[in-house]
Amino acid sequence: MFRRAFWFTTGVAAGVWATTKVNRTLDKLTPESLALQAADRAVLAGRRVKHFALDVRDGMAHREAALKDALGLTAGPEAEEARALPAGRPHLVVVEPTHPHHSLTRKEDH
């Protein structure tokens, strides 16, 4: 009798456990639950991409600062004036041909 009660109780406990497990799994597979899981994963992926972009931006700023130091571009305002661009070249003057049959195309050069 004690054995029968033990196995009956064990069977009931196993049945309750299995039923609970199956119901939880079915709840996870409902369309609403799947949509929530997908949304959570999308938000997590977005955060990862944002952190990656911020890390890349920081790395670029550090590298740019290192390159400016190496090239001597981080000096004060005096260096800005010394590095001013040279004066531009004089503009070319285009003279129109005076002869009406004279053309500047390559086909008529030969």
Tokens representing 81 are 């004036």
User: Treating both helix axes as pointing N-terminal to C-terminal, what angle do 2-28 and 31-71 enclose, rounded to 10 degrees?
Assistant: 60
Is pLDDT at 2 greater than 80 in this prediction?
Answer: yes
Chain segment 63-106, per-residue pLDDT in tens? 999 999 988 887 666 655 666 666 777 777 666 666 555 555 55
Chain segment 16-38, per-residue pLDDT in tens? 999 999 999 998 889 999 999 99
pTM exceeds 0.85 for this model: no
